Amino acid sequence: MIRRDRLKWDGRYAAEGQHWQKSPPRKLLLAYLDRLPITGLALDAAAGVGVNGLVLARRGLHVVALDISEVGLRLAQQRALAEDLTLETAVYDLAHPWFPPHCFDVVLNFRFLERSTFPMYRRALKPGGWLIFETFIRTPETAADVDFYLLPGELHAAFADWDVVYSEENTAVGGRSRQLKPVAGLVARKPKDGD
């Protein structure tokens, strides 16, 4: 599965990399950008070509971008170098995540779901750190792919004990089809006394 995913995304980014790099950053990130720190360490999980992570790097954060696609990360790194931004990249399988405790000030997770990241994000964020998460919700049409889609209410429930600044389930344009798809979005801060 991992090899197949890597080949799939490497192929897509190799063929359509410039298209992906022209994609705008996620609206949810932009809506809360002014509230995020201007220094510190950020994780861009499943970063792709780094469009969202580069927004944080421009803000002043040191960004670690992880993805299964070396091609996507290479494009992100080229953009960061061209703009003289601090963005480190690593090919990483988020199906088996491990992060040191209390190391990130911000964690981004867009259009990707691996439930084993939930406890790792909880652990890896510093107290007071920000989680910005948005991905697709299961529908009758996607019910067979339960691993790739959230259940309604699942994302909020996973972080309900944090300071939830924003939590909403609505529709957003998804993928190359440009069709509206149901998504869950969450902006939450780890409690200052949280572990």
Residue-wise pLDDT for 16-66, tens only, equals 767 777 888 999 999 999 999 999 999 999 999 999 999 999 999 999 999
3-state secondary structure of 82: helix
> Looking at residue 149, what is its pLDDT?
86
Confidence of residue 170 (pLDDT cuts 50, 70, 90): confident
Check residue 177 and give its pLDDT: 53
Residues 98-123, mean pLDDT to the nearest whole number: 96
pLDDT at 1 over 90: no
The arithmetic mean of pLDDT across residues 56-84, rounded, is 96
Q: What is the pLDDT of residues 146-167, one digit of tens each?
A: 788 898 999 999 999 999 999 9
Mean pLDDT over the full length of the chain: 90
DSSP secondary structure, 39-81, as one string: SSEEEEET-TT-HHHHHHHHHT-EEEEEES-HHHHHHHHHHHH
- Helix ranges (H only) for the chain are 2-21, 27-32, 51-59, 70-82, 117-124, 154-158
In the predicted model, is pLDDT for residue 91 greater than 80?
Answer: yes
Residue 152 belongs to what H/E stretch? Answer: none
Domain boundaries, given as residue ranges, for the chain: 2-189
Residue 183, pLDDT above cutoff 60? yes
| pLDDT higher than 70, residue 102 | yes
- Of 120, 140, 141, which is closest to residue 131 (Cα–Cα)? 120
Residue 93 has a pLDDT of 92
Checking if the pLDDT of 173 tops 60, the result is no
- Distance of alpha carbon 68 from alpha carbon 116, whole angstroms: 16
Q: What's the pTM value of the predicted model, to 2 decimals?
A: 0.90
- Regarding the domain delimited by 2-189, which CATH topology (the fold level of the hierarchy) does it fall under? Rossmann fold (3.40.50)
pLDDT score recorded for residue 172:
65
What per-residue confidence (pLDDT) applies to 9? 75
